[in-house]
Each structure stands twice: as structure tokens, then as C-alpha cells.
Amino acid sequence: MVNTRCGWHSGKIICSGINCLSQNISAGAGEKHGIDASITGTVGSSGNVVGANIILTTAGSAGAWASAIYAKVVQGTTKNINGYLTAAEFEVVNSNTNVSDWFVLGLNANSTTRGSHSSFIAIRDYGSTSCNSLLWFGPEITAGSDGDTTALVAAASGVGTADYTIRILFHDTPLWIPCSTSQT
């Protein structure tokens, strides 16, 4: 496959605009990869890099929906995955203290019109057995007592019947969403 704009040829990806060259990636123990691309983007002062840039421009008329990226995992007819399934998984490895803000996922809205359901996140459930929770916190997220360093915090006295609170940030102001282990 050859793409002269990005320089794809014979399985190699060469992106001269950000000085990057794909490398062979060895799979971790027990992993199998369908597509691998390891990219080193060289930044200068005030420089920005993007590892993969996908822009979808719709044309024509009467489309039902559009998505720049669509990911789907289909479990086989037997239970061949005994861990977890996810259509997309993202990870940030940050070992440098000069990064003031970092996020595992950034959501940017850029529109001049408003729809009837304009939101940063849309949650749909197409299965015959619905999901039974909005969020799942894995065992790595433990309840702590310090609301400034822990995402899930044991509720302080005076928070009503909340057992825990979830910390969110509104600009630089921390806010806590009260949670209870019972529905009452």
C-alpha cells in the first residue's frame, strides 16, 4: 500500500512533517497485535505533535450518523476472553514533572450550532441486557481520606447520607459528587 501524502510504503510509515518513523513493536507477554505503529514526534519550542490524525469530512445528504473513529470488539461464540473487553483503551505515561495538565482523554467541542442533545459524551445501550452502572472504578482506585489527592474519598461528616464522594474539578475548584452504598 502506498500513500504519498504520509509516505506509507511496504508496511513502514514515514512522516517527515514531524520527523517520525514507525518501529517494530514487540507484543507483551500473551499479546497479539493486528496493527503496530510506534511514533516519536520531535517537538521544538511551543511545538505540538499528533501521532495519528484522522479527519472525516462528510459529503452528500441524508446520512444517519458519522464517526471519525469507530471501534468495536465482538466476543466470539464461546467465552474466549475471560478478562475484560473494551472497544478502546487509552493510557498516558507521564514521567516528567514539567507537564502542568495531563489527561487520559481530551474532549473538544467546536460547533457553531446546538443540537437537541448537544453533549460532550453520549451514552447508548443497544444490548438486550443493559449495563448496570455508569462508571466502574477498578481495584487500583481506592477510597482515601485526602480529597485533593484521591479520586474516591471517604465522605466527610455533614455530607448527608453519603458514604463516599467522587472528586471532580470545575476549572481549578474541586467539587465532590456524593455517593452512597445504599439507595436510600
Is the pLDDT higher at 30 or at 140?
Answer: 140
145 within a domain of the structure (yes/no): no
The alpha carbon torsion through 33, 34, 37, 38 (nearest 10 deg) reads 0
In a domain, 105, yes or no: no
Tell me how far apart the alpha carbons of residues 13 and 20 are, in angstroms, rounded to a whole number: 8
Bridge partner list, 182: none
Tens digits of residue pLDDT in 164-179: 888 888 888 888 888 8
In a domain, residue 113? The reply is no
What's the structural domain count of the chain?
Answer: 1
pLDDT per position as a tens digit, 61-100? 989 999 999 999 998 888 788 888 899 999 999 888 788 8
pLDDT category of residue 25 using cuts at 50, 70 and 90 = low
Domain membership flag for residue 14: yes
CB 39 within 8 A of CB 20: yes
**How many degrees, rounded to 5, is the angle at CA 27 between CA 21 and CA 29?**
155
Measure the CA–CA gap between 33 and 39, rounded to whole angstroms. 16
Residue 142: per-residue pLDDT: 82
In this structure, is residue 101 part of a structural domain?
A: no
**Residue 165, number of CB atoms within 10 A of its CB:** 21
pLDDT digits (tens, 9 = 90+) for 120-167: 999 999 989 888 888 888 888 888 877 778 888 888 776 677 888 888
| Cell reading at 66 | 458519522
Task: Determine, yes or no, domain membership for 143.
Answer: no
Give me the domain span that covers residue 12.
1-49
